[in-house]
Amino acid sequence: MTAYRAALIIDPDWMAERLRLARALYGPAPKRVLGTVWWYSTSSLLVAPPLEALLHTGRAVDPALDAVTLQIHPDGRLVDAHSSRLFDGDATALGTAMGDALAAAVASVSSACGAGERALWAIAADSIANRALWAGQAVDDVDGALTLVGAVADGIGPALPRPRFERYRERLVVRRVSCCLIDKATGLDKCASCPNQHPDERARRILAALP
């Protein structure tokens, strides 16, 4: 693995290399598709450290791009991320700081691959919802996770689509507002939770995937 500063996301040359590696992984998909798939993984890793730290320990870490380090496989796959400093502020302030980091990253990814910023923000919303929910489930505090998501979304503001959740049987899941486009890159089926399918089919597939 190689460590990269997350601030490199705003470097056009670095982003061009990310897309080149994505093409080696996924083949001749359009740049918009490759960039969207890359952002789907990257945004999840970017938002994870502060959300997980706050729910696991009661103290968040800084989401700023210059504080975050990405661990990346030589083939371009993102593996992990961590922040080098603690964050001083409440959950809404954390959202404001996270929003600043995401805004810079979204603008850069959009410029590099041609994906619309609105679509990339939707992916970030789902990443926040999923990471917070998983962390809340891990510490048996789903209510705390939902409260955190609301405060973070308030702090980020209107650029972020409001994260949504729904219940299947006894299981709470994210009601996604974004599509990762992995089916366009690989030719495989859409994700079970993809919003770009009939709601009845989506519900059937989610229920089938639940343990």
Is pLDDT of 93 > 90?
yes
Percent of the residues in the chain that have a pLDDT greater than 70, as a whole number? 100
For 12, 14, 186, 192, 204, the CA distances from 209, given in Å and listed in that order, are 39, 37, 20, 8, 9
Structure tokens at 188: 């495989």
Average pLDDT for residues 77-104, to the nearest whole number?
97
Per-residue pLDDT band for 134 (boundaries 50, 70, 90) equals very high
Spatial CB neighbours of 55, under 8 Å, sequence gap ≥ 6: 132, 135, 136, 138, 139, 141, 144, 145, 148
Is pLDDT of 211 > 90?
no
Average pLDDT for residues 81-109, to the nearest whole number?
97
Backbone φ and ψ of 138, nearest 5°: -65, -30
Is pLDDT of 154 > 90?
yes
Backbone φ and ψ of 61, nearest 5°: -110, 165
* Listed residue (125, 164, 144) closest to 44, CA to CA: 125
Alpha-carbon span 122 to 85, nearest angstrom: 27
Domain 2-161 has CATH 1.10.10: no
* Listed residue (8, 7, 35, 16) closest to 184, CA to CA: 35
Q: What is the per-residue pLDDT for 126?
A: 98
Structure tokens at 160: 């972020």
Alpha-carbon span 132 to 169, nearest angstrom: 20
Mean residue pLDDT of the chain comes to 95
Alpha-carbon span 26 to 3, nearest angstrom: 23
Alpha-carbon span 44 to 127, nearest angstrom: 5
Global model pTM greater than 0.75: yes
Alpha-carbon span 51 to 47, nearest angstrom: 7
Is pLDDT of 184 > 90?
no
* Listed residue (4, 5, 3, 15) closest to 107, CA to CA: 15
Alpha-carbon span 104 to 21, nearest angstrom: 22
Alpha-carbon span 64 to 102, nearest angstrom: 9
